[in-house]
Chains A and B, each alone.
Chain A
Amino acid sequence: MGSVALANTLAAQMPSAGAPSIAASRFHAPPKAKRVIQLFMNGGPFQCDLFDPKPQIAKYEGDRPEAVDLRTERKTAGLRASPFRFQPRGESGVPVSELLPQLGGCIDDICVLRSVHTENPNHGPALLLMNNGTILPTRPSMGAWLSYGLGTENESLPSFVVLCPGRPVRFSILWTSAFLPAEHQGTYINHSHPEPDKLIPFLRNKTHSMEQQQRQLELMSRLNRRHREQRGGDQQLDARIRSMETAFRMQFAATEAFDLNRESKSVREAYGEGHFSNGCLLARRLVERGVRFVQVYYGNGQPWDTHHTHDDRCRKLCLDADRPMAALLTDLKRRGLLEDTLVIWGGEFGRTPTTDTSEGGKGGRDHNHYGFTMWLAGGGVRGGMTYGETDDFGFKAVENPVPLPDLHATILHQLGLNHERLTYRYAGRDFRLTDVSGRVLNDIIA
């Protein structure tokens, strides 16, 4: 590639504009969504504070009826009421907690899944189940599967990006490519660094000007072409030559994509300040540029893990999270991106309606894998509805329960992938994200 071509590429402000989808032929069905943003409330929020009102908890406060005598990670005692009120919101009238006033305004675009359940009430295994579909730390993550199945829409950016201001528990195993080729692993970015060039390893050269690098690239290009011709051609040599050129462009494309200062003041204000706000805004910038899957972890460690002083902490967390979540949905919609961008919200599990006694009973709630809420928006999913129910106390999924493989199958389905056919042969068998189960939730598809 000569300098003219490079200059042209550099002139293009939107890198995705010139990059055709190389993935189209791999769909199993026409896709409704082209990209995914997952807002991961790591630690596990309490469903009955936010989307699943259960007046019976207050009525029987302090009691421990048989229905809630369930074993979780720690010991819990009697029922503990949620102090937060609900109101029907939007045209659909789906109830949303007072803790999420702004997100409530978007409820007509949101499908609330009230009956998700998983297999293990311990953070590590539950994070693995949500991300990798299994407790074993040896299987690819959902993002890696999506990258493998769909490829990238922008060769100047990674196809799977994980944003976290710090490190979630279990760390890189949550975005591993495991036995899939390494290019599909998530690119983890600690976005508490504000400078874009710290986000991708070795993104910028500290000592060389662009002109200097361009001269180097031209030298490489000449010598590589000669080397290749002397060898009678070789696809792997060609691929490396192209890859070097892409890398050169990526320095500028990625820097641009990660630079929040390029957003207008009004957009910055809409999202608000803080790591989670920045994460949501970065997610929009990335999917807009063709990144397939962006995962935004709410915070370092497990911020939603409220074993004590639950109500206060929950109030603070929601105060911080409400605005950027609503801004993200509104912004995506305004740009026409929501219809083919699937937004997923939830933790690795929910919390118990009963009091956690493990830390001296200081107003906490334990992990609850029996039933909890997640929501989906955009990407061909019906808005303004709830699906499934937990029991009277919001503990266990009882109506239309949604095991995680069903959720995974549905996400893949919206992206045009059949979860039974997205397989990879390894160690003597065909592996898939949904293992041996999974059922698409047809009732929630628009």
Chain B
Amino acid sequence: MKQARHGNRRLTVVGAAVAMALATAAEMTATAQEEPAEPVRVEFRRDIRPLLSDKCFRCHGPDGERESELRLDQEASAKAVSDGEAAIVPSDPERSVLIRRIVSDDPDERMPPPDSGSELSPAEIALVRRWIAEGASWSEHWAFAPLLEGLVPQEPSSWASGPIDRFVKEKRTMAGLEPSPVADRQTLIRRLAFDLTGLPPSSQDVEQFIGDAQPEAWERLVGRYLDSPAFGDRWGRVWLDLARYTDTTAEWLEHTGQAWLYRDWVIAACNEDLPYDRFVRLQLAADAMPDAEIADLPALGFLGLSPTYWKELRLAPDLVQRIVADEWDERIDAVSRTFLGLTVSCARCHDHKFDPITSEDYYALAGVFASSQLSNRLLLPAEEAARVKQARGEMRQLEEQLKKLGKDDPEGRQPIEQQIAGLRESTPHFDALSAHVIEDSSIYVSANGPDLTKLEYREGEARDLPMFVRGNPANPGPVVERHFLAALSPDEPRRLQHGSGRRDFADALFDEARNLTARVIVNRIWEQHFGAGLVRTPSDLGSQGDPPSHPELLDFLAGELIRHNWSLKWLHRQIVLSATYQQSSRSRKPCEAIDPKNRLLWRMNRRRLEIEMLRDAMLSAAGNLDRQRGGAAFDLGDDSQHRRTVYGQVARRDVNQVLRLYDFPEPTSHSPHRVHTTTPLQQLYLLNAPFVQQQADSLAAQLAPLTTTEDRIHRAYRRLFSREPDGPEIAVGLEFLSSGSAEASVLADYVHALLGLNEFLYVD
């Protein structure tokens, strides 16, 4: 089995110059790259554990080949003193037997044995020596540790009142940074409107907010946007990126399901502020929850719309088995990164080199997905569903008969057509919708005669999988009982034993793993509000990920989220009410010099609109936005369609070209966050797309009847930028509009150019 080599962090420690030399165009333009910070000190999990795992664990690790008592995967054993010696003596590399053995010239003494082919390089030896000299800390990685709580700075402060601001102020002050002033009201309302609803604020909203001098005006505005149905349109899409949502499934699957039911369920859940724990449980196991309703079944689309890979049954069983295992791997990857911020998929071929995730954990989870199959389910109670299924089956047969008769036999057709009509009438809910779901059913791959392969499904049965040695299904090892990740379990890991085990897994997320689960979702929501997370690798909180800029703040919010019954709207409110959020985005040179990436939040980050917001903003400014919500997806290639972009069709294998141009993530796998690029092809869209021109024409037509050119400029600025133009802007506008030929076309050209401005695309 081929599997990518894990990132070798040791190289960056011993040769940062190499990494620098590899800087690429990509890194220069990508603003949200998953980039870990440069290591300051040697860290066990990142730098040392992988080394020991690679070179020593075969004999001194968890597996069977041990010839010695020494266990280098266990701190106690590694530091145990016996006969006055210890393999590792913290802070004293020279007295550590480990060092003596790895540098020894005596072939009998030398470790790893010279014939093992896994000798350490001089750089690696230096690294181990440094780690021991620094104290040989085996410390637990922050994301697995209990929440740091009770640390809210108590110092009273005029700048900041809430706990978020106090945490931020503390770090910022230590770095010698001053906060930015509060942004002006026009900026604030535009920021908040895009952030909470994905749309620009209406002119009335702006007028009202600017005219409302009361201190509670901001809070009122926040409340109104949180309650707006547009909130779900914006935040639902954030979730759909993680869930690799698609409206179209592979051509080899039955097309009976309506994918949009999942999209609409997610949007409604955001609007209703469904508690996050229930939101997640329903997506993993609505079919196994006694208190779930039929209307909750579309939640299973998270897994029910998973990518599927073509399984050619003319190929040999081991090739097909590998493709089936690739599908399990995709599910493990999506689930573990989305909910836990962990890259469990790294443990497919061997134990995770950096995080405490074993190959056994991997196959314990793979068993859950080997016991769950994609399916379609009518959104009806079981009995009615059975009746509809039967009636549809009968109808299919009747239609076959019609086909055989052909069109030239009206007499033969008539009774059959009547039967069909009768079936429809007599079967209640004949046209009921069905959702893409997942159901308990296990899959087996086996030979079908000498030349073919078959897939066998056992409904309602679960299976435990053997570990595949080096990820190779043709090389099965011992069978592993399905269980939750051991590293996140205080005791024996929870067994995933009810049905496929999906529900047990969901329970574990909100029980033994809840601190991590909470950290992950808090960080994701923070990232959306600020344009950068407290942890900049939102789907990797493991030791290879970025450490949090404000660990105490992250943990505080995670703890509070749990205490507030996992209410995400509570979290949104805390964040946008903070003074930190309301700062100006304007940069200041002295602060830039200290903290160029603004990790310490001395200002707001300026953000580019995502494609959904850009398209919706154009429609909105032109007065063309169709606010019809939900239902089947519309074709984004059809310029006459003016619904919000989130309702446009996402085709997994053929993503709409405008979405592609603007960094829409490939829905073939989980996307941690969008990487924003700036390319000329994006600008061609704004310069030349008929859709953009239509919006400009539309707005121009509404400006034309106004009395003076200056009025037109004012109205255009209000509609596009939610503010009044200043003197020079009016002058530039007058100059443009007074030259050129036909009045109407010049006005449209003017509006069109304003749509292409940075001020339209970026939010301060």
B215 close to chain A: CB less than 8 A: no
Judge whether A236 and B544 touch: CB under 8 Å.
no
A73 close to chain B: CB less than 8 A: yes
CB distance from B713 to the nearest CB of A (A): 12
Judge whether A202 and B684 touch: CB under 8 Å.
yes
Judge whether B588 and A151 touch: CB under 8 Å.
no
Judge whether A222 and B732 touch: CB under 8 Å.
yes
Judge whether A437 and B2 touch: CB under 8 Å.
yes
Stretch at the interface among B63-71, B144-152, B314-322: B314-322
Judge whether A148 and B681 touch: CB under 8 Å.
no
Judge whether B24 and A73 touch: CB under 8 Å.
no
B427 close to chain A: CB less than 8 A: no
A428 close to chain B: CB less than 8 A: yes
Judge whether A73 and B315 touch: CB under 8 Å.
yes
Beta-carbon contacts under 8 Å, A117-136 to B? 120-122, 124-125, 134-136
When chains A and B are docked, how far (Å) is the Cα of A222 from the Cα of B731?
12
Residues of B near A429 (CB, < 8 A) are: 4-7, 343, 346, 544
When chains A and B are docked, how far (Å) is the Cα of A153 from the Cα of B20?
22
Judge whether B314 and A435 touch: CB under 8 Å.
no
A231-B586, A421-B22, A429-B343 given as contacts; is B678 within 8 A of A121 (CB)? no
CB distance from B11 to the nearest CB of A (A): 9
Q: Interface code B592-619, partner A: CB below 8 Å = 1, 0 otherwise?
A: 0000000000000010100000000000
B126 close to chain A: CB less than 8 A: no
Judge whether B326 and A427 touch: CB under 8 Å.
no
When chains A and B are docked, how far (Å) is the Cα of A7 from the Cα of B592?
37
Residues of A near B684 (CB, < 8 A) are: 200-203, 247, 250-251
Q: Smallest CB-CB separation from B353: which chain A residue?
A: A429
When chains A and B are docked, how far (Å) is the Cα of A219 from the Cα of B751?
11
Which single member of B18, B34, B693 contacts A425 (CB below 8 Å)? B34
Q: Which of B346, B664, B681 has the most CB of A within 10 A?
A: B681
A431 close to chain B: CB less than 8 A: yes
Judge whether A247 and B681 touch: CB under 8 Å.
yes
Residues of B near A437 (CB, < 8 A) are: 2
Judge whether A240 and B663 touch: CB under 8 Å.
no
Q: Smallest CB-CB separation from A184: which chain B residue?
A: B26
Judge whether A427 and B333 touch: CB under 8 Å.
yes
Give the number of residues in A that approach B within 8 Å (Cβ atoms). 90
CB distance from A426 to the nearest CB of B (A): 6
Judge whether A428 and B660 touch: CB under 8 Å.
no
Q: Smallest CB-CB separation from A151: which chain B residue?
A: B25
A74-B314, A207-B693, A215-B749 given as contacts; is B682 within 8 A of A243 (CB)? yes
Which single member of A151, A184, A202 contacts B689 (CB below 8 Å)? A202
Residues of A near B17 (CB, < 8 A) are: none
Residues of B near A178 (CB, < 8 A) are: 666, 668-669
Q: Interface code B237-252, partner A: CB below 8 Å = 1, 0 otherwise?
A: 0000000000000000
A227-B757, A236-B608 given as contacts; is B660 within 8 A of A243 (CB)? no
When chains A and B are docked, how far (Å) is the Cα of A331 from the Cα of B436?
54
CB distance from B638 to the nearest CB of A (A): 15
Judge whether B34 and A426 touch: CB under 8 Å.
yes
Judge whether B588 and A232 touch: CB under 8 Å.
yes
Beta-carbon contacts under 8 Å, B14-29 to A? 18, 22-26, 29
Beta-carbon contacts under 8 Å, B445-482 to A? 451
B219 close to chain A: CB less than 8 A: no
A430 close to chain B: CB less than 8 A: yes
Judge whether A435 and B354 touch: CB under 8 Å.
no
Judge whether A26 and B24 touch: CB under 8 Å.
yes
Judge whether B30 and A181 touch: CB under 8 Å.
yes
A74-B314, A236-B678, A240-B761 given as contacts; is B4 within 8 A of A201 (CB)? no
Stretch at the interface among A168-176, A309-317, A332-340: A168-176
CB distance from A205 to the nearest CB of B (A): 4
Stretch at the interface among B276-284, B496-504, B507-515, B650-658: B650-658
A224 close to chain B: CB less than 8 A: yes
A156-B680, A173-B653, A435-B4 given as contacts; is B606 within 8 A of A236 (CB)? yes
When chains A and B are docked, how far (Å) is the Cα of A75 from the Cα of B739?
74
Q: Smallest CB-CB separation from A177: which chain B residue?
A: B666
When chains A and B are docked, how far (Å) is the Cα of A228 from the Cα of B44?
45
CB distance from B3 to the nearest CB of A (A): 7
Judge whether B655 and A172 touch: CB under 8 Å.
yes
Judge whether B680 and A436 touch: CB under 8 Å.
no
Q: Smallest CB-CB separation from B690: which chain A residue?
A: A206
Judge whether A427 and B539 touch: CB under 8 Å.
yes
Residues of B near A435 (CB, < 8 A) are: 2-5
Judge whether B326 and A239 touch: CB under 8 Å.
no
Residues of A near B759 (CB, < 8 A) are: 223-224, 227
Q: Interface code A168-194, partner B: CB below 8 Å = 1, 0 otherwise?
A: 001111001010111111010000000
Beta-carbon contacts under 8 Å, B508-528 to A? none
CB distance from A405 to the nearest CB of B (A): 9
Judge whether A239 and B678 touch: CB under 8 Å.
yes
Q: Interface code B559-598, partner A: CB below 8 Å = 1, 0 otherwise?
A: 0000000000000000000000000011111000000000
A299 close to chain B: CB less than 8 A: no
A246 close to chain B: CB less than 8 A: yes
CB distance from A290 to the nearest CB of B (A): 14
A204 close to chain B: CB less than 8 A: yes
A124-B310, A138-B669, A429-B346 given as contacts; is B679 within 8 A of A183 (CB)? yes
CB distance from B636 to the nearest CB of A (A): 13
CB distance from B177 to the nearest CB of A (A): 16
Judge whether A233 and B345 touch: CB under 8 Å.
no
CB distance from A237 to the nearest CB of B (A): 5
A23 close to chain B: CB less than 8 A: yes
Q: Interface code A338-359, partner B: CB below 8 Å = 1, 0 otherwise?
A: 0000000000000000000000
Q: Smallest CB-CB separation from A427: which chain B residue?
A: B343
A92 close to chain B: CB less than 8 A: no
When chains A and B are docked, how far (Å) is the Cα of A317 from the Cα of B569?
62
Judge whether A149 and B24 touch: CB under 8 Å.
yes
Beta-carbon contacts under 8 Å, A225-249 to B? 226-228, 231-234, 236-237, 239-241, 243-244, 246-248
Q: Smallest CB-CB separation from A233: which chain B residue?
A: B587
B736 close to chain A: CB less than 8 A: yes
When chains A and B are docked, how far (Å) is the Cα of A206 from the Cα of B684?
12
Judge whether B680 and A231 touch: CB under 8 Å.
no
Judge whether A231 and B326 touch: CB under 8 Å.
no
B159 close to chain A: CB less than 8 A: no
Which single member of B7, B662, B690, B752 contacts A428 (CB below 8 Å)? B7
A432 close to chain B: CB less than 8 A: yes
When chains A and B are docked, how far (Å) is the Cα of A432 from the Cα of B8?
13
Residues of B near A138 (CB, < 8 A) are: 330, 666, 668-669
Judge whether A216 and B25 touch: CB under 8 Å.
no
Beta-carbon contacts under 8 Å, A194-220 to B? 200-208, 212-213, 215-217, 219-220
A232-B588, A426-B34 given as contacts; is B2 within 8 A of A436 (CB)? yes
Judge whether B653 and A171 touch: CB under 8 Å.
yes
Judge whether A155 and B2 touch: CB under 8 Å.
no
Judge whether A122 and B315 touch: CB under 8 Å.
yes
B545 close to chain A: CB less than 8 A: yes
Which single member of B6, B544, B680 contacts A243 (CB below 8 Å)? B680
Q: Smallest CB-CB separation from B8: which chain A residue?
A: A430
Q: A138-B666, A181-B26, A219-B753 are in contact. List 17 more A-B contacts (CB 8 A).
A: A120-B319, A148-B26, A156-B680, A172-B653, A201-B681, A206-B690, A223-B732, A233-B587, A234-B587, A240-B678, A240-B761, A423-B22, A427-B672, A428-B542, A429-B4, A435-B4, A437-B2
A-B contact pairs, 7 of them (CB 8 A): A135-B309, A181-B675, A202-B681, A202-B684, A216-B687, A232-B589, A429-B544
Chain B residues with a Cβ under 8 A of chain A: 2-8, 18, 22-26, 29-31, 34-36, 307, 309-310, 312, 314-316, 319, 322-323, 326, 330, 333, 337, 343, 345-346, 354-355, 451, 539-540, 542, 544-545, 585-589, 606, 608, 653-655, 657-658, 660-664, 666, 668-669, 672, 675, 677-685, 687-690, 693, 728-729, 732, 736, 739-740, 749-750, 752-754, 756-759, 761-762, 764
Going nearest first, the 8 A-B pairs with the smallest beta carbon separation are A428-B343, A247-B683, A430-B7, A247-B680, A151-B25, A216-B753, A246-B680, A202-B688
